[in-house]
Amino acid sequence: MTTTVEPTPAILDLNQALEGFRTNVTPLLDPAQEEDWDGVKLKEKEWAILLAGLRLVGHCIAILIHRLALTESVKLAANVRALGKAGLHYTSEGLREVPVTLIGSIRVRIPVLYKLAREPRNRPGRKRKRGKRGKSRGRGFYPVLTLLGISEGVSPLVRCLVSQAATQASSFEQAKQFVTWLGLGFSTGRIRRISEAFAHLGLAIRDEQLARLAEGTLPAGEALRGKRVVISGDGGRVKIRRTYRRGRKRKSGWPGYETNWREPKLLTIYVLDEQGHKVNTLEVPLVADGTLGGKDEFLKILHLRLHKLGIAQAEIVVLLGDGAPWIWNNIPPLLRELGCRPEQIVQVLDYPHAVEHIYQLAEALFGDTAKGKAWAEKWAKKFKKGQAQNLVAEIQRYLVDKVGEDLDTVRIQYGYFQNHQTNGRLDYARFKAQKLPVGSGVVESLIRQAVNLRLKSSGKNWLEENAEAFVHARCQWVAHQWSDFCNAVLTSGLAPPT
């Protein structure tokens, strides 16, 4: 059902709204309306009753918002807590009626104070009159709307639900189908604008926390005290669009652009119970995040997350990853910087990746033969039993005897296994005995859910800033942190209550 619903003016009298609901619904409850009932006709009646109920809900919310906007205590709190952007001077521009769309496609117009940012007045002399104070540069805001979480012309509930639909669905077109069930006839363009603004605010909150971390004013947490913690990171692929700022426009009037693949780096942090199972509770939440900003930005975000959780207080810290050198060269030093002791850190190479390298080694030694496959299967089993050192010794013997069809690849694989074996990342028998994970399935699943199913598909290309915002927002949804994410966005830009 994708019927467009035109906004209905709000009824600010509860009795009148209830009477209107009764008038609209009573005929729908009469079985004699239809001669031949079937499932299709009943479904149509259900949809009509649902829309009538949503409109009643919208009228009730409109009454509440209108009363809040006129309440003196709300106005006072808005002037105290909604301060606008730092460094800007705001002047009051009087009351303005702002239309707000609610559940059920109800539109209420509420009178609220508008404040406008002006150029700072640095010169001495008499204050200039209204209308002669210079350009405002369009930077204004409504303190009451900011306090109540109203933005983009919709209520906070609509903001959250529309953004959730746009984040969870595989496209904005699919999100429109869910939004329609809220009685909202939004276009895909409006859904995009609401959700992009929402996701960018979530990203701004993370940036603010990163700034506080750099300043040393962000307190450390204690959520991981005495816990067995796993940290895992990996990368995906997203196509990024770069618009040509110069040059001739196309016949359509739009400038040209180019697309290139970029690697978003994602991280996940979770806790293990004594049996080695992943734990996800309110006290010990699953943490997920990601960025397209490259290795350095990824490490900053990981630093932020580990600092907020109190990683140094964990009982054991498992670093689980594939063979990417940037993981092993950067994350262990970061953990030590955060206060983790060397004996506290366990490094584990993802077992499926290790087996993949065993098969590549077998092909380099014996070619694509049955002997090579049998050799790989044998060592994959021995590998899991803790015989990595024996494999390294056997590869070394092949190199000394110059046995193999591709000795250059054999040397590369020898260095790969020797490096990881020296750093204790291949002791799978010990990991199994300690009930620690040996596969990076959790972060692989995160990449599939956060990136592949939403941002990566045929014909999809993103502006980098929007891709960054949606990767971050989608990670919060995958980690079951969407409610907290919404609450943080709705209160962003507000001073703490006094």
At 328-373, the pLDDT tens digits run 999 999 999 999 999 999 999 999 999 999 999 999 999 989 999 9
Per-residue pLDDT for 130 more than 70? no
Beta strands 287-291 and 316-321, pairing class: unpaired
449: alpha, beta or left? (left if phi > 0; alpha if psi -120 to 50): alpha
The yes/no answer on whether domain 219-350+439-462 falls in CATH 3.40.50.10860 is: no
Total length of the chain: 498
456 by DSSP, 3-state: which? coil
* 436/273 Cα distance (integer angstroms): 10
* 395/433 Cα distance (integer angstroms): 27
Q: Alpha-carbon torsion 150, 152, 153, 156, what sign?
A: negative
166/398: higher pLDDT: 166
DSSP 150: -
pLDDT at 125: 54
What whole-number percentage of the chain has pLDDT above 90? 77
* 458/34 Cα distance (integer angstroms): 46
Q: Show the CA angle centred on residue 263, arms to residues 258 and 267, nearest 5°.
A: 150
Beta strands 89-102 and 140-141, pairing class: unpaired
> What would the two tokens of residue 159 be?
């903001």
Where exactly are the structural domains of the chain?
219-350+439-462, 352-433
Q: Alpha-carbon torsion 111, 69, 101, 14, what sign?
A: negative
266 by DSSP, 3-state: which? strand
What whole-number percentage of the chain has pLDDT above 70? 93
> What would the two tokens of residue 297 be?
């930005």
Per-residue pLDDT for 186 more than 60? yes
pLDDT at 36: 85
> From residue 37, how far is each of 34, 42, 44, 219 by CA, in Å?
6, 7, 11, 64
Could you tell me the pTM of the whole model?
Answer: 0.89
The pLDDT tens digits for 16-62 are 999 999 999 999 998 887 778 899 999 999 999 999 999 999 999 99
H or E segment at 333?
helix 325-337
What b/e readout covers 96-117, taking b as 16+ CB neighbours within 10 angstroms?
eebebbbbbbbbbebebbbbbb
Q: Where are any strands of DSSP class E within 417-477? A: none
* 299/403 Cα distance (integer angstroms): 42
pLDDT at 145: 96
Q: Alpha-carbon torsion 176, 181, 186, 192, what sign?
A: negative
Per-residue pLDDT for 2 more than 70? no
HSE-up (13 A, CA, CB side) for residue 498: 9
